[in-house]
Amino acid sequence: MSSPVKSPNAEPSSSHLMGVYSRSALAFERGEGVRLYSTDGDEYLDCVAGIAVNGLGHAHPKLVQALKDQAEKLWHVSNIYRIPEQEQLADRLCAETFADVAFFTNSGTEAIELALKAARRYHAAKGAPERIDVITFEGAFHGRSYAAVNAGGNAAYLDGFGPRLPGYVHLPFGDMDALKAALGPTTAAILIEPVQGEGGARAVSDQDLREMRRLCDEMGALLIFDEIQCGMGRTGKLFACDWAGVQPDIMTVAKALGGGFPIGACLATNEAASGMVPGTHGSTYGGNPLACSVALAAFDEIAKPELLEHVRELAGYFGQQLQGLKDRFPDVIAEIRGKGLLIGLKLIPNNREFMQLARDQRLLIAGGGENCVRLLPALIMTVDEARAVVAKLEAACQVAQDQAAAAGAASA
């Protein structure tokens, strides 16, 4: 048998990891609260939080204890048996939301997969199998599985993976006239992030979310909210759609749900889930006792009114301070975006280069679409810590401004 052909694009021979990430050279050995400590001994303020995953920061004592307690009892059993921890978490999620039922997954992508299946299955069970079209929006990110990348429609994530799947309609972000024109007898659902993350921290207006709800009711379509990144307290309410007072038919949750432990959920009304009968879906690991125990501890903390109030206050502080930075560095920051602690800075210099400037200040920030960087701090960040974040951003802006001025002088 011949040896497999090795790709010229593989990572260096020192690494046996598949080369799908453009990684920073940074590596971390421990975290505490909103700080990460590198293997080189440097301390960083973390405004990435595992991309909005570590909602309660690193090594939160209540999550650590929940993990230890459950790890000594039971990690995994099959879903062919009842799992009490899973039932308790479903009860908590349904009590705090529109939902009647929940299905647990290992990730946000898997939750999206079920949401898409449930929407189409709903119509098929009602005698309308032709209703398969899912309407999504430019800039959307719904995960990396085959169905999820087709839903997102980003050409960079679809290139080279064969033909596009049928049944996905992609519309310009914020174009309600285009949405009204696209709705029709083959529409199964509208799928939207109330606040886009990867797409550049763009918030959908409350008015548009309400209009989507009305249109879905009028057309008999389902409304699906992807709150994987913007949910779980990140905007200052438990879920971002709460600001508009709009209830979806299906909602996907993950990231901060486990506070760093992998878990996702697809929430639905009884009606929207009516097509999902035994045999239509399943998961080996989804909803295991270990994940659900940690998620219960995380949910109890994040759902506390005092924490959500703190998020709103901290978001107000960041908004004021970042607007001040924009005013002082108009050649660096073009626009402040987002909602709550899902904050976007649309930049004039290259966003990836700016991320490195922030890293030089021992500040970690995330990238985003439309040349944005994102601040996704843990919800427990203090005002003093936020003040330090702003100071580091200001220093990075100053360097960016100086570099631009030097480049301009050199080309004159």
- Using an 8 Å Cβ cutoff, are 268 and 111 in contact? no
**Catalytic status, residue 173:** no
Q: Which of 233, 145, 131 is nearest to 183 (CA)?
A: 131
Select which of 103, 141, 239, 354 is catalytic.
Answer: 141
- Using an 8 Å Cβ cutoff, are 362 and 43 in contact? yes
Q: Which residues have a Cβ under 8 Å from the Cβ of 240 and sit 6 or more positions away?
A: 194, 195, 203, 225, 227, 230, 231, 234, 339, 340
**Catalytic status, residue 239:** no
Select which of 46, 255, 318, 339 is catalytic.
Answer: 255
**Catalytic status, residue 180:** no
| Phi, psi of 167, deg, nearest 5 | 95, 15
Q: Kindly tell me the number of DSSP H helices and DSSP E strands found in the chain.
A: 12, 15
Distances, alpha carbon 114 to alpha carbons 65, 107, 145, 273, 319, in Å: 31, 11, 12, 10, 36
Q: What is the distance between the alpha carbons of residues 394 and 388, in angstroms, rounded to a whole number?
A: 10
Q: What is the distance between the alpha carbons of residues 297 and 154, in angstroms, rounded to a whole number?
A: 35
Select which of 46, 226, 242, 249 is catalytic.
Answer: 226
- Can you give the C-alpha Rg of the chain in angstroms? 22
Listing DSSP states for 281-347 in one string gives ---SSTT-HHHHHHHHHHHHHHT-HHHHHHHHHHHHHHHHHHHHHHHH-TTTEEEEEEETTEEEEEE
H/E element, 150? helix 146-152
Distances, alpha carbon 334 to alpha carbons 325, 346, 348, 376, 387, in Å: 10, 5, 6, 19, 21
Q: Which of 217, 212, 220, 129 is nearest to 171 (CA)?
A: 212
Q: Specify the residue for token string 């991309």.
A: 51
Show which residues are catalytic. Answer: 141, 226, 255
